[in-house]
Structure 1
Amino acid sequence: MRIDLNADLGEGFGPWTMGEDQALMQVVSSANVACGFHAGDPLIMDATVRQAKAAAIDLGAHVGYPDLQGFGRRAMNIELRELATYVVYQLGALAGMAAVAGHPMTHMSFHGALGNRVAADAQMAEVLVRAVAQFDPRLIISSSSSQAIEAAAGKHGLRVATTFLADRAYDEHCLLVPRGIPGAVIKDPAQVRQRVAQLLQDGTVTTLDGKRVKVDACSILLHGDTPGAVTLARDLRQFIEGQGAVITPISQLLRS
C-alpha cells in the first residue's frame, strides 16, 4: 500500500511563526502552502517553497478566505464570481514563487471554512473547481471526502486525492464536523493513531455519533499548528510504515 502524508505549512505572517515547518518537511511527502489570504506572506511563501524543494516533497497551494485575523476559519459571505478570482489569485501567487524556485506546483487544497463550505456545496464546488481547472488542468485537488468536489473535478477533468484528517471528527456523510462542535478536534495522540490504523485496515472512520463510514483516502493530513505536532507526525509515520505502507507524494500516486 502507498499513501501520502501531507501538512499545511507556511502559515505564519511577518515575524509571527506557526508550527515547525522544517521539522515537518522531514516527515511528510507533500506540503500545502498558505498563499497570503488566511496566512502566509511573500517571504514566507518563498522560503517554504524552497524548503519543500530541498526536502524533495510535493508542493501545493493552500487557498482560503481573505481572513488573516481569523486564520481562515470564519465563514464569509462572498459572491461566487469574486471568490473564484480569490482562488486564482492565490494559485498564481504560489505558482510564481514555485517557478522562480524551480519547484513546480503539483496540487492545491481549500483551507478551513472555505474548504468545509466547498466540500458540502455543489454550486460552490462547481465554480471554484472550474477556476482551478482553468488555471492549470494538471493540478491535483487534495480534499477531504466530498461528493461535491469529486463531481466538479470529474466534470472539469481534474484528479482528486482524497485526504483523511486523523485529528478531525466526521459526520455520517463523511464530511468534517465544524470546529465549534464539542469533539470536532481530536487531541489524544492514541486516538489519532487508532483512527489511522482503522483507515489502513478497513478503509473506514468512526463518525462522531459512532457510525462507521467508508473513506476512500490515499493521503493523510497532519496539522502542523497543534501542540506536539512534530512528535505526533513522526510517531504516525513510523506507525504507518510499520503497517507495511510506503509513504509516497501525491503526484506519484495520481500520475496523469
Structure 2
Amino acid sequence: MNRRIAAGLVAVVLVATSCGNEDADIEVVPAPTPTATAIPEATPEPTATAIPEATPEPTATAIPEATPEPIPQLRVWPVTEPTVWPRTADEAAEVFARHAALGERTAEPRPALRSGSTATAELPRLAEDGSTFGVASTIHMQQIQLDDGSAAWVVISAQSDDIVVNSPAFGELLARGTVIEGEGQGFEGTIVFRVEDQNGPLGLALAQGGALGENLPFETQLLFDQRPASGNWAILVGYTTSAVDGSLSALTMLPMRLVDGS
C-alpha cells in the first residue's frame, strides 16, 4: 500500500517537472507598445486674394471745333460780298494779297497758321528775280459763318513791323480827317497813307519816317470830305513800295469806324 502511494507521488512529481520544463522553453515576447500616430496639423485654407477692380480708362474728351463768328463789320477784305467766298485761310490770304497789291507785283503768302477760328499768314517781300525774302505784312484772318450755315474766311487786318500805327486806334477814324501817328520806314523815309471804302480812296497823305532798316516816328494829317459808301466804316491803308520794281515792301491795313464831330 505504502509502495503504491509512493509510486504515485513520484509520477506526479515527474509530470509536474516535465510541464515546468516546457514552460521554460517558451520565450515570452512582450506585446509591442502601440505607437502614437501623429495627427497632421490642419493645413490653413489659402486666403482669398482680393482682385482689385479694373480702373476705367479715362474717356477721351472731344475737343469741340471752333464755332465760326458772324461776318464782322470791321474787316479789310472783302469789303463787299464776293461772288465766291474763300473757304480756307490760305485761299483768303492769296486773294487778299492780289487785292492789296493793286496790280503791282506781289509774292504768294506763306502757309497760314490756324488757331481755332483765327489764322495768320505772312506776306513776304518779292525780289526782282522772283525770289522772296523778309515779311512785307502779316495777314490776320477770321473764320465766319455765312447765312446758309457754311464757313468762310475774311481778313481782319494786315500789319507790318515797318509801318506801326499808334493812332488812331483800331476801329476809330474821324469823319473829316485824322492825324496819323506811329513809327516806320520806307524808301527815302516815305510812307503813303490813304483812307478808302469799297469804291476806292477817300483821301491821301504822305508821312516821313525812317529808312535803311530804322523805324522813326511819323505824324501826318489825312483829310477827306466824303462819307464812305458803307456809311460808318472805312479802311486805313499804309504802304511802301520797292524803288526797284514797285512791289510791296510793307503794308498795314486797319478797319476804322468813322466818328463825326471833327
Report the TM-score, using the length of structure 2 for normalisation: 0.26
Q: Which of these two proteins has the greater Rg computed from alpha carbons?
A: 2
Which is richer in strand? 2
Select the structure with the greater relative contact order (CA < 8 A; seq sep ≥ 6). Answer: 1
Report the TM-score, using the length of structure 1 for normalisation: 0.26
Which is richer in helix? 1
